Amino acid sequence: MAESRPRVWVSQPLFDDVIARLGEYFEVVSTSQVSEYTPQQVSAALAEVDGALITLNERIGSEQIAGAQRLRAIANVGVGYNNLDVPALSAAGIIATNTPDVLTETTADFGFALLMATARRITEAERWLREGHWRQWSFQNLLGADLHGSTLGILGMGRIGQGIARRASGFDMKVLYHNRSRLPEAVERQTRASYVGFDALLAQADHLVLVLPYSKENHHLIDARALLQMKPTATLVNIARGGIVDEGALADALGNGRLAAAGLDVFEGEPAVDPRLLALRNVVLTPHIASGSLATRRAMVSLAVDNLIAAMGFGPDAGSPPNQIGA
Ligand code: GLV
């Protein structure tokens, strides 16, 4: 009798032609619908498969793998993996992977775009125009803050943070960064970025971009106290994870003039957005699209497919997927 092939679950629709490669090795269970799963539905799907290719929508912890006796690997399509309980997966012998590098430049592009839109009030100005308020060109209308010549603060100086720093030097910005550990001097020179303490970063930045990975330790790192340390003229951009910012405190600061503007691509309870943020005019809101160019999203899926094939013991990297998390 022919041996049955391992079965893998693909949780969301993700470019059929890229996913098709999984069919060379596995029986593939996929969906053509963008799906919102309950935790129980994720458990039920995982209980039936040997591997899974999932997105940041699917949260996987000890409860979801409790009945997944056959599960050997989870490939996350994304660089951030706070949707996975990595210690629980490791303890159960399940390999987890992510998709770094392929999205670095696209995400840095977007971080910069969001910063420009926020500082120069682009979406607010467009709304104003569409709403028919433009009667006459006026000198003091919709004035924003300059990027060129200003001080950019980058919190989290990994690959994406460094990409943003490189873009900033083209705008003649002074770049300060804070990171868990200071970068080698050669990287500081190449990115033209100077290391400062967390409080100094908050106090000196004209624009602050958050690009650090989310963890329990940095939950609400940007809280009311941190916001109070920032310049009232400053802009804050978050392309990391929503949980890093206390959104209530941010809405207060934006509403009472303690902070000029914010650009947010990520939210604590996404896809829900705090109604107070929705009501403010000085915040640019985008639906978690920083890595969302067509080429990059395809590259992310392709890398996750490679990772899953390798983690399941097939292909050129059989058994040692290059992007294993927590190995
Ligand atoms: C997106 O947010 C990612 O982590 O790739």
Q: Which atom of ligand 1 is nearest to the CA of 241?
A: 2
Query: Which pairing describes strands 283-285 and 261-264: parallel, antiparallel, or unpaired?
Result: parallel
pLDDT reported for residue 193: 98
Is the torsion defined by CA of 60, 64, 26, 33 positive or negative? negative
- Distance between CA atoms of residues 168 and 83, nearest Å: 31
Report the separation in Å between the CA atom of 320 and the middle of ligand 1, taken as the mean of its atom positions.
23
pLDDT reported for residue 2: 56
In a domain, 233, yes or no: yes
Are 281 and 155 in a shared domain?
Answer: yes
**Rg of the chain in Å (alpha carbons):** 22
Among protein residues, the one whose CA lies closest to atom 3 of ligand 1 = 78
Distance, first Cα to last Cα, the chain: 36
In the chain (327 residues long), the average pLDDT of successive 10-residue segments reads: 85 97 97 95 98 97 97 98 97 98 98 98 98 96 98 98 97 97 97 98 98 96 98 98 98 98 97 97 98 98 98 94 89
Are 227 and 164 in a shared domain?
Answer: yes
In a domain, 1, yes or no: no
Are 171 and 249 in a shared domain?
Answer: yes
pLDDT reported for residue 319: 85
In a domain, 60, yes or no: yes
Token pair belonging to 19: 């996913």
Are 189 and 253 in a shared domain?
Answer: yes
Are 194 and 279 in a shared domain?
Answer: yes
Are 239 and 95 in a shared domain?
Answer: no
Are 266 and 159 in a shared domain?
Answer: yes
In a domain, 213, yes or no: yes
Ligand 1, pocket-test mutation among 76, 97, 244, 291, most atoms within 8 A of CB: 291
In a domain, 325, yes or no: no
- Distance between CA atoms of residues 42 and 136, nearest Å: 56
Whether 288 is a known active-site residue: answer: yes
Split into its structural domains, the chain has a count of 2
What's the domain range around 75?
Answer: 7-101+294-311
Whether 241 is a known active-site residue: answer: yes
Report the separation in Å between the CA atom of 198 and the middle of ligand 1, taken as the mean of its atom positions.
24
Are 47 and 172 in a shared domain?
Answer: no
Q: At 207, which CATH number?
A: 3.40.50.720
Please compute, for residue 246, the number of CA atoms within 13 A of its CA located in the half-sphere on the CB side: 13
Query: Which pairing describes strands 7-10 and 207-210: parallel, antiparallel, or unpaired?
Result: unpaired
Report the Cα 181 to chain-centroid distance in Å: 20
Whether 130 is a known active-site residue: answer: no
Are 144 and 79 in a shared domain?
Answer: no
In a domain, 319, yes or no: no
